Amino acid sequence: MNDNEHFSILLIEDDELDQEKMTRAVKRLGIDNPLLFANDGLEALELLRSENAAGQIGDRVVILLDLNMPRMNGHEFLVELRQDEHLKRIPVFVMSTSDRPTDINLAYDNQVTGYVTKPYSMQDTYHTIEALHRFWTCLRIPTFGY
């Protein structure tokens, strides 16, 4: 593993089935990056801003973000994230069931790194996560924190 591959993956997703699909895909593909979960945007921001964030996440993270969640949805999360000096450079990939142009455009307006429509089958999930992981390991992921 080269130095750039040391990062955590934060899945912001309220659906337990989608969380389980992600866990299975990461395990099956042999991806050894730490996988963390938040059930909505507020929980994710609390985690990212916590005093123990470095201990839980490390100094590099890639976010997989659902859009439709309670309390704070994905679009609201993106606005808040991009306004935070310590968090605004974190790469975010939206993974949503929505393929509406308004959702896609709004996500890119808030500087997402990519937008993927959620795969329905487990096999498609494996292919999607494998492709994303190959891409992530080529990125120069910025550090974040205080």
What are 56-82's pLDDT values in tens digits? 888 889 999 999 999 999 999 999 999
The DSSP bridge partners found for residue 8 are: 61
Region 19-40: mean pLDDT is: 93
Decide if pLDDT at 2 tops 60: no
* pLDDT tens-digit readout, 112-125: 999 999 888 888 88
pLDDT of residue 64: 96
The 3-state secondary structure of 80-114, one letter per residue? HHHHCCCCCCCCEEEEECCCCHHHHHHHHHCCCCE
Q: Is the dihedral of CA 72, 24, 94, 135 positive or negative?
A: positive
